[in-house]
Amino acid sequence: MIQKHNVIEVENLSKLFGDFAAVNQISFQVKAGEIFGFLGANGAGKTTAMKMLIGISSPTSGKATVAGFDVYREAESIKKNIGYMSQKFALYDDLTVKENITFFGGIYGLSKKQIEQKRCELVEELGLQEVTNSLVASLPLGWKQKLAFSVSLLHEPKIVFLDEPTGGVDPITRRQFWELIYKAAHNGTTIFVTTHYMDEAEYCDRVSIMVNGKIEALDTPKKLKEQYKTNTMNDVFLKLARG
Amino acid sequence: MKRFVGFVRKEFYHIFRDKRSLFILFGMPIAQILLFGFAITNEINNVDIAILDQANDVNSREIIQKISASKHFSIVDIIQQESSIKSIFKKGNVKAVLQFENNFSSNLIKEKQANVQILTDATDPNMANTISNYITSILKNYQQELNQTVSIDYQIVPQSRMVYNAELKSVYMFVPGVMTVILMLVSAMMTSISITREKEQGTMEILLVSPLKPFQVIVGKVFPYIFLSIINAVVIVLLSIFIFNVPVKGSLFLLGVESVLFIITSLALGILISTISATQQTAMMISLMGLMLPTILLSGFIFPISSMPLPLQVISNIIPAKWFIIIVKGIMLKGVGFGFILKETLILFAMTLVFMGFSVKKYNIRLE
């Protein structure tokens, strides 16, 4: 069911700010349906790299395609084919759940009927029946997070980019959130996720670890642990980050 | 187009669900125009004045009677010497002193001319001016009455002297000023806040990652404010016509078109502010300090530009409000046509283009 072709291909991609290389010649591929963990300490260049892939920042040099589109020339096509959720779970607090869904469905060009249908599914799945007409501001953080994720999937993107999606939520909620991620991946959506929770790295199919703008390691969590002779991803990360 | 409608609907939800922005949008214009209208009115009532009657004869007493009978003045003090004038002004409640010269009646009959001096406390120049005009007109009335009964022309010559402030040039018309300030406030401040709010919430990022183009996002955000500002302009003009009887001598259509131009100038400024500020608070501070203060102080709204020191006069040229006030005064009060305000219109237009150019540049840098 899952096609094994690459949906993200990156080759020697760099981003310079003056003399400083925020992203320094990184290369990697992500396969369709994969959960790809993009790890790194704060300031390692994760966010900059991700911004180039989602088409809101243009690279200094190197090649990259996302969903088959070139990041230099076809940013607009990329935007139609990806979903994005930021670490702020950005929804409109002063709009109701229903209005948020309608709005975001609308800007992705979904028809009224599609939005209606998607909304019913989504509300059903997340158990939000009681609060569809409440303002998002009144929802607990965990619900906002799940809603934001589901909203980023409204237009059935091929790839969804998650920028530290679990910041500030409790472990149980994080766990539930990862169940949603698995479900989406199971349906064929590719997941590209940045995180600095190392236990979450264990949930990914493959992870890359960025240090100072470069990708220092890239493999399955299991192989990385073998390679660095440790029991946890946390230790792998510490070994790498400390050089 | 459907996306645009959805976007604008969302914007209206934001506006109508936020009581503060609703108040600024609709409460402020009405409150301001009413405040300015009633506070800076040319009507005076029950102003305290004092009399120094050195003549104390028939005519002077008749004039005093007339003045005390008017609802505009109440005579609170009769003083005996010129030297007490200063001290009475210093106390502050007496706004004017009316001084009759010696032998007022006999001068009037023999010389056919008699003098009254009106001394006004011009720490408040407008008030002083108004008081002086009112008293002068009472004197004129009295003079006419005299001349009806007698065939000789008697002349009472009022000599008014403004104490503390000899030059009185600030005849300001508040409606153009208030209209300018409100449109500036609503357009520039509200849009810059609403755009930075999206940045703060992180929703701007989501919008930029969506298929919407950056300019579609900006137009979508700005559009509701064009609409609301136009409503505001209409409300202000209606209030000034029907409550304060300010005439609109020129074309209402022209006034409308020029207002839309100024609204767009302000929106462009608001967008520019939002590109340089990261938070709503910064945007608000920049709008208030950087726009509102110069708009109120340097545009000629309250202080006449001609009496400013030269450097400020030069600076006033870059304040969009200055040009719009000239336009509004021209159309409303003088009834001029488009030809007379062509220069001002072109300046505003050029400013708008410059602000937009800067915003686009800033915006692109930020996206890099």
DSSP labels, A143-191: HHHHHHHHHHTTT--SEEEEESTTTT--HHHHHHHHHHHHHHHHTT-EE
Q: Which residues of chain B have a CB within 8 Å of the CB of A76?
A: 211, 213
A-side interface with B, Cβ within 8 Å? 54-58, 76, 79-80, 82, 84-95, 99, 102-104, 106-109, 161
Q: Which residues of chain B have a CB within 8 Å of the CB of A107?
A: 3, 6-7, 207, 210-212
Those residues of chain A that have pLDDT short of 70 are 1-3, 243
Q: Does a structural domain hold residue A45?
A: yes
Same domain, B142 and B82: yes
Cα(A197)–Cα(A177) distance, rounded to whole angstroms? 13
Between chains, do B368 and A57 touch, taking CB under 8 Å as contact?
yes
How far apart are the CA of B275 and the nearest CA of chain A, in angstroms? 16
What is the number of structural domains in chain B? 2
Structural contact between residues B78 and B51, judged by C-beta atoms closer than 8 angstroms: yes
Q: What CATH number should be reported for the domain holding residue A30?
A: 3.40.50.300
The reported pLDDT for the residue numbered B87 is 83
Structural domain containing residue A58: 6-95+150-241
Residue B7 sits at the chain A interface (C-beta within 8 Å): yes
Residue A168: Cβ within 10 Å count: 12
The reported pLDDT for the residue numbered B43 is 61
What is the number of structural domains in chain A? 1
Separation of first and last alpha carbons in chain A: 40
Q: What CATH number should be reported for the domain holding residue B150?
A: 3.40.1710.10
Structural domain containing residue B355: 2-40+172-367
The reported pLDDT for the residue numbered B41 is 56
The two structure tokens encoding residue A133:
């007409």
Which residue in B197, B208, B210 has the most chain A C-beta atoms within 10 A of its own C-beta, making it the best mutation to test that interface? B210
Please say if the pLDDT value at position B333 is more than 90: no
- The percentage of residues in chain B with a pLDDT greater than 90, rounded to a whole number, is 21
Using H for helix, E for strand and C for coil, what is the string for chain B?
CHHHHHHHHHHHHHHHHCHHHHHHHHHHHHHHHHHHHHHCCCCCCCEEEEEEECCCCHHHHHHHHHHHHCCCEEEEEEECCCCHHHHHHHHCCCCEEEEECCCHHHHHHHCCEEEEEEEEECCCHHHHHHHHHHHHHHHHHHHHHHHHHCCCCCEEEEEEEEECCCCCCCCCCHHHHHHHHHHHHHHHHHHHHHHHHHHHHCHHHHHHHCCCCHHHHHHHHHHHHHHHHHHHHHHHHHHHHHCCCCCCCCCHHHHHHHHHHHHHHHHHHHHHHHHHCCCHHHHHHHHHHHHHHHHHHCCCCCCCHHHCCHHHHHHHCCCHHHHHHHHHHHHHHHCCCHHHHHHHHHHHHHHHHHHHHHHHHHHHHHHC
Same domain, B264 and B348: yes
Give the nearest chain B residue to A137 (CA atoms). B201
Q: For chain B, give the mean pLDDT.
A: 83
Burial class (CB in 10 A: 0-12, 13-18, 19+), A236: buried
The reported pLDDT for the residue numbered B153 is 64
Cα(A22)–Cα(A57) distance, rounded to whole angstroms? 12
Same domain, B36 and B51: no
Interface confidence, given as ipTM, is 0.88
Please say if the pLDDT value at position B93 is more than 70: yes
Among B109, B131, B127, which Cα is nearest to B118's? B131
Q: Does a structural domain hold residue A84?
A: yes
Q: Which amino acid is at B75?
A: I
Q: Does a structural domain hold residue A48?
A: yes
Residue ending a domain, choose from B137, B163, B189: B163
Burial class (CB in 10 A: 0-12, 13-18, 19+), B5: exposed
Report the run of H or E that residue A14 belongs to, with start and end. Answer: strand A6-17
Between chains, do B202 and A103 touch, taking CB under 8 Å as contact?
no
Residue labelled with tokens 């000899």 = B166
**Across B285-296, average pLDDT:** 87
Please say if the pLDDT value at position B225 is more than 60: yes
Distances (CA, A) of A135 to A97, A99, A138, A152, B366: 6, 9, 6, 18, 31
The reported pLDDT for the residue numbered B168 is 35
Which residue in B2, B14, B197, B206 has the most chain A C-beta atoms within 10 A of its own C-beta, making it the best mutation to test that interface? B206
Same domain, B193 and B326: yes
Residue labelled with tokens 């069911």 = A1
Same domain, B179 and B159: no
Cα(B113)–Cα(B104) distance, rounded to whole angstroms? 9
**Across B100-129, average pLDDT:** 83
Q: Does a structural domain hold residue A198?
A: yes
pTM score over 0.80: no
Cα(A229)–Cα(A206) distance, rounded to whole angstroms? 17
**Across B35-55, average pLDDT:** 76
Helix (DSSP H) and strand (DSSP E) numbers for chain A: 9, 10
| Tens digits of residue pLDDT in A5-60 | 899 999 999 999 888 999 999 999 999 999 999 998 888 889 899 999 998 888 99
Residue ending a domain, choose from B143, B163, B183: B163
B368 band by pLDDT with thresholds 50, 70 and 90:
very low
Give the length of chain A: 243
Angle at B204 between CA B292 and CA B290, to 5 degrees: 15
Cα(A203)–Cα(A198) distance, rounded to whole angstroms? 9
Q: Pick the residue with more confidence: B286 or B144? A: B286
The reported pLDDT for the residue numbered B167 is 37
B245: left (phi over 0), alpha (psi -120 to 50) or beta: left
Same domain, B250 and B292: yes
Same domain, B209 and B357: yes
Residue ending a domain, choose from B145, B163, B181: B163
Q: Does a structural domain hold residue A117?
A: no
Query: Residue B71's Cα: distance from chain center in Å?
Result: 27
A and B: number of Cβ contacts within 8 A: 72
Which residue in B12, B20, B203 has the most chain A C-beta atoms within 10 A of its own C-beta, making it the best mutation to test that interface? B203
Long-range contacts (CB closer than 8 Å, 24 or more residues apart) made by B230-235: B230/B256, B230/B259, B230/B260, B230/B263, B232/B25, B232/B26, B232/B29, B232/B182, B232/B183, B232/B186, B233/B179, B233/B183, B233/B259, B233/B263, B235/B26, B235/B29, B235/B30
Give the nearest chain A residue to B208 (CA atoms). A56
Give the nearest chain A residue to B15 (CA atoms). A94
| Tens digits of residue pLDDT in B141-195 | 888 888 777 666 666 666 666 554 433 333 345 778 888 888 888 889 889 999 9
Q: Does a structural domain hold residue A225?
A: yes
Q: Which residues of chain B have a CB within 8 Å of the CB of A91?
A: 203
The reported pLDDT for the residue numbered B354 is 95
Same domain, B34 and B107: no
The reported pLDDT for the residue numbered A214 is 92
Cα(A196)–Cα(A91) distance, rounded to whole angstroms? 23
Same domain, B361 and B214: yes
Same domain, B157 and B202: no
Same domain, B304 and B181: yes
